Amino acid sequence: MRVGMPLGYAGGFSETVAELADFERAGLDIVFVPEAYSFDAVSQLGFIAARTTRLQIASGILPIYSRTPTLTAMTAAGLDYVSGGRFTLGPGTSGPQVIEGWHGVPYHAPIGRTRELIEICRLVWRRERLDYHGKHYALPLDGGTGLGKPLKLINHPVRERIPIVIATLGPKNVDLAAELAEGWQPIFYFPEQAAVAWAGPLAEGKARRPDDLGPLDVIAAAPLAIGDDVTHLRELVTGEGTWLLDVRPADRIEAADRVKFAASAEAALACGWRYGVAGGWQPHAMTTLDTLSAQRRPLSDPLGLAGVLLAAAAAGPLRFADLVAAACYPAVARAFAIHLIWRRVLAIDLAVPFGDSALVWRGGR
């Protein structure tokens, strides 16, 4: 087992790199540098290479749409050169929000383009003349001036096989990673449950995997803090912070949703937030939501109950029974309060079954 860590999108870069040297001496094996629509990863990787001696450096990820495959290959070979053979290429498709919104290029055929990029990179690193004609990339260019010629990399790379790690979740992408990449980096990876989502795609990809690639490395993220007093260090992970939670029943999560979850996690990280998916409802939660949904029709308020209920809830949280009792017409207020809860003007605690003892407060608290 090797130990790695990601570099954040924000923060004091020089200070972080200075700490990396300490981590390197302590035994850290690899660091991953991201690139979304922040500073580019390549300049940071080069800086880290100059300030470390043993630490492996990796892109996590370099979007494949913002660079040509040959530029990606050249960049990887260059980083491997300046680091003395310590670079790992982590290509990725990112998502249409970034690719089309930031780079202004179509988000088209991510799996096919990833496959062809990997094939082209390995041709470049082997210094073969680049005569490649795939579905998405043609080198030399078909058409054009007609002056393009098959070229090969001028320099001799440190390694003709630079490791490639693909960060992906979708079944077809995982199949591709198991077939062609040295490593696979999933998010939300739990070893005990991994087979439920990925056993099939991994098996299909490994069945086509060349023998010279060796076993597939799995790079899983897990919070880790080291120190003499573990209590306060545990709070670095479990303590307060801003969370973005995606709540939906597990049986309604499709394979394609996992890619969306990964994109959401990247967006949350860029904002300094944490991200999680809650897929397991407590048994009573659906019943509560069904009850609230039944009251979602628009209601008029001739008795002025909204103001009374919101004023009472402002001092909350308080029991639902106490909330409706604060109004002059509790029976009517009960129905109107449920309507306000559905509209998220009032909030309830779904950890317990909905009833008179359920806690209620103003929405937005």
**Per-residue pLDDT reduced to its tens digit, 241-264:** 677 777 777 777 777 777 777 777
Take residue 148 and report the two structure tokens written for it: 């393009």
Domain boundaries, the chain: 4-167, 230-278, 283-362
Q: What single string gives the DSSP state of each residue in 267-281?
A: HHHHTT-EEEEE---
Angle (nearest 5°) at CA 177 between 39 and 254: 90
Distance between CA atoms of residues 316 and 323, nearest Å:
9
Residue 139: which pLDDT band, with cuts at 50, 70 and 90? Answer: very high
Distance between CA atoms of residues 33 and 125, nearest Å:
22
| Among candidate residues 262, 281, 274, the one with its CA nearest the CA of residue 189 | 262
Distance between CA atoms of residues 335 and 343, nearest Å:
13
Q: What is the pTM of this model?
A: 0.69
DSSP state of 191: T
Which one is predicted more confidently, 117 or 308?
A: 117
Q: What is the reported pLDDT for 189?
A: 77
Q: What is the reported pLDDT for 240?
A: 52
Q: What is the reported pLDDT for 94?
A: 86
- Classify 337 as helix, strand or coil: helix
Q: What is the reported pLDDT for 252?
A: 76
What long-range pairs does 276-279 form, CB within 8 A, spacing at least 24? Answer: 276/243, 276/244, 276/245, 276/246, 277/188, 277/245, 277/246, 277/247, 277/248, 277/253, 278/245, 278/246, 278/247, 278/248, 279/248, 279/249, 279/250, 279/253
Q: What is the reported pLDDT for 365?
A: 42
Exposed (0-12), middle (13-18) or buried (19+): which is 210, by Cβ within 10 Å? exposed
Rg (CA), the chain: 26
Distance between CA atoms of residues 82 and 298, nearest Å:
65
Does the domain at residues 4-167 carry the CATH identifier 2.30.110.10? no
Most confident of 116-130, 176-190, 346-360: 116-130
Distance between CA atoms of residues 200 and 195, nearest Å:
8
